[in-house]
Amino acid sequence: MTSRITEGAEPKHQQLRRILLDLATSRLAPGAAIPSERQLIAEYGVSRITVREALGQLVNEGYLERVRGKGTFVAHRPVQSTLHLASFTEEMRALGHVPTTVVLVREERIPPADTVAALRLGETDTAYHLKRLRMADGAPVSIDDAWLSADAFPGLLDHDLSGSVYSLAAVEYGTPIDRAQQTVAAKPAADDVATLLGTKTGAPVLEFDRVSYAGDRPVEHSRSWYRSDRYRVQMEVTASQSAT
């Protein structure tokens, strides 16, 4: 860090905040340590109060995070998504992130009862079970646990499933997934979800329950869990014509 803090109209804590913000957003990776209070005091010739004010502002704004007993670190900035139908891969690329996927489960078997109902299957019909850990820029963002119609996508498990299944459905099968019904709820992370997402058991996650359709036919039933500190949903709300 080479910027200097000077006497002038701008308060010193604001000058230091700008320096640290540049460090956190363009020079250090998420999870990297910020210099200690003692180092900042020595380098910039400011008081401890000035340092704590600058750091506190950036923590409150979500750029930095404090870990008790360890120090202050660059925070993982949350992925912000508009609420629309798109594959994780397509969505992350559109937002400027690098998506990667770890396939955890790929199998064909009889699905649970709620999926049988959602996909309108017979009691003995099988479906493809695909569970994946999804990451953006190398950081875990979500777990997707999906069931897909075997009739709609024969031989699906023979394909590379680390990319967009929606693109695969459209290009390889001529069956584009064009709409979905979805609910979102805030839930505490179960042990297995917390382990995969790298967070604590009981930490808040967003749970999406979605049934996706190709035309009028349900072809996918999925549940996804997103780290609420790494994923935010943005939506536009408008008044209906009957609103008063």
Q: Tell me the C-alpha distance between 100 and 92, whole Å.
A: 10
pLDDT exceeds 90 at position 122:
yes
Name the percent of the chain lying above pLDDT 90: 44
Q: Tell me the C-alpha distance between 174 and 167, whole Å.
A: 10
Note the helical H segments in 26-147.
Answer: 37-44, 48-60, 88-94, 113-118
Cβ burial of 196 (10 Å; 0-12, 13-18, 19+) is middle
Tally Cβ neighbours within 10 Å of residue 158: 8
Q: Are 134 and 141 in contact (CB under 8 A)?
A: yes
Greatest mean pLDDT among 70-79, 119-128, 227-236 = 119-128
pLDDT digits (tens, 9 = 90+) for 150-203: 999 999 999 999 888 988 999 999 999 888 888 889 999 999 999 999 888 999
* Selected residue with higher pLDDT from 154 and 96: 154
- pTM for this one? 0.63
Domains of the chain: 12-74 (1.10.10.10), 79-234 (3.40.1410.10)
pLDDT digits (tens, 9 = 90+) for 39-93: 999 998 899 999 999 998 888 777 788 888 888 988 776 554 444 455 666 666 6
Note the helical H segments in 45-175.
Answer: 48-60, 88-94, 113-118, 165-173
Among 234, 229, 233, 193, CA closest to 77: 229
Q: Tell me the C-alpha distance between 206 and 217, whole Å.
A: 26
Q: Tell me the C-alpha distance between 1 and 23, whole Å.
A: 8
Tally Cβ neighbours within 10 Å of residue 56: 15
